[in-house]
């Protein structure tokens, strides 16, 4: 795939993903109760507005604001810039490119939240059965997880195609 084709392909994945995430976060902020969950489908789905100042499952939320800024804004921003350059410059298999583009889109959308929302990311979804539940998440988190799954899936496929050299 040529450079400009890769760039357009990445934008075709990233723009709708970021747009959908930001739109649903705006709806959550406007219509959902703060720090209270509404239950649906026999409590399989819970929806409610919350702000996460940490990472996945609030990891890092207890760090000082300065350290959180350096990790979640500066560090993540640098990682996203590097990932963008890697995706644009490297000719990757299509599944890997889709996976990394989804990971990029989720990262960019959550990064944008942190920049405009005083270091917090808007979360509003929770799924589970009984006491077995996920953390509260958003559409960007779903894009990140799907992207990671695609990258890992393609990596495993490629490993299976490498011929074995036998026992060492």
Q: Which residue among 21, 35, 113, 123 is the active-site one?
A: 123
Alpha-carbon distance of 51 to 106, in angstroms, equals 16
Is 43 tagged catalytic? Answer: no
Question: How does DSSP assign the chain, residue by residue?
Answer: --HHHHHHHHHHHHHHHHHHHHHHHHHHHHHSPBT--EEETTTTEEEEEEEESSSGGGTTTTS-HHHHIIIIIIIHHHHHHHHHHHHHHS---HHHHHHHHHHHHHHHHHHHHHHHTTT-EEEEEEEEETTEEPPPB-HHHHHHHHHHHHHHHHHHHHHHHSPP----
- Give me the catalytic one of 21, 43, 113, 141: 141
Catalytic residues: 123, 141
């Amino acid at each position: 795939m040529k450079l400009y084709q890769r760039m357009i392909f990445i934008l075709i994945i990233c723009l709708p993903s970021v747009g959908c995430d930001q739109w649903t976060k705006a709806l959550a902020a406007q219509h959902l109760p703060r720090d209270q969950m509404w239950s649906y489908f026999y409590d399989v789905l819970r929806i409610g507005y919350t702000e996460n100042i940490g990472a996945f499952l609030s990891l890092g939320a207890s760090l000082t604001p300065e350290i959180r800024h350096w990790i979640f804004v500066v560090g993540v921003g640098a990682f996203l810039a590097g990932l963008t350059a890697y995706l644009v410059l490297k000719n990757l298999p299509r599944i890997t490119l889709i996976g990394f583009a989804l990971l990029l889109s989720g990262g960019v959308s959550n990064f944008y939240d942190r920049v405009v929302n005083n270091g917090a990311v808007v979360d509003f979804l929770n799924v589970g059965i009984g006491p077995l539940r996920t953390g509260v998440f958003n559409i960007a988190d779903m894009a990140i997880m799907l992207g990671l799954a695609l990258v890992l899936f393609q990596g495993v496929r490629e490993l299976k195609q490498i011929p074995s050299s036998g026992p060492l």
